[in-house]
Amino acid sequence: MEKNPFDELAEKYDSWYDTKGKLAFAIELQALRPLLNNLPQPWLEVGVGTGRFAQALGIEIGVDPAERLLEFARSRGIKTFRASGEVLPFEDSTLGTVFLLTTWEFLKEPVQVLKEIYRVLKEGGKLVNAYLDKDGKWARSYIEKAKHGHPLFSRARFYGYEEVVDLTRNAGFKITGTISTLFQGPGETVVLEEPREGFHSGASFVVIIGEKNE
């Protein structure tokens, strides 16, 4: 596999969750936790990174192409596989829920990733895609950083809600829910926000839930 910039920046990336991103991460988790009781097992996170989300949510399995990130994830008790979302190392119809948690922005081929997720999910299985909406303050901040050559965000592509919904439906999923949160931007995130049902313009963190129906 080609050299992954996440490998070189793994420590800095991981420390964000304990420093500048601590409250934003808490807001994101607050939007995701109410979903967990209704999600079929087993669970997989695609783009597991350092395992922060997986550990906090109880996701046992993760894949990621960056080996240094996987070392962190393994230290947090996650069973890991080095793989990309475009080619998942799982049999057809074997998983209950697949999570994409702020991974969507970094997918090279999101259509192929959705097809792979659809393939590995059981009938009635769930997709939980929590992405950073391009019109939210956090994405706008990252887009500015990308313009100045940021090593990670210069590789990211940010999408709007309708774009993500259309791609998800085209891959065969039925959209069963949406949650919006994180309306405060970088440097102004000072209070814990309550998640809102549905899509709300200005949200940075948007969760789309899809279901496999063959």
Number of domains into which the chain is organized: 1
CATH number at residue 125: 3.40.50.150
The predicted-structure confidence for 53-111, as pLDDT tens digits, reads as follows 999 999 999 999 999 999 999 999 999 999 999 999 999 999 999 999 999 999 999 99
Given a contact cutoff of 8 angstroms between Cβ atoms, the answer to whether 127 and 121 are in contact is yes
Average pLDDT of the chain?
93
Cα(54)–Cα(204) distance, integer angstroms = 20
Query: DSSP 3-state assignment of 187?
Result: coil
Query: Could you tell me which of 121, 108, 141, 107 has the C-alpha nearest to residue 40?
Result: 121
pLDDT tens digits along 39-53:
999 999 999 999 999
Look at the pTM and tell me if it is higher than 0.85: yes
Q: Which long-range contacts (CB under 8 A, 24 or more apart) does 143-152 make?
A: 151/5, 151/8, 151/9, 152/5, 152/6, 152/9, 152/13, 152/106
- List the domain range (segments joined by +) for residue 74: 5-212
Q: What is the pLDDT of residue 146?
A: 85
Amino acid occupying residue 111: V
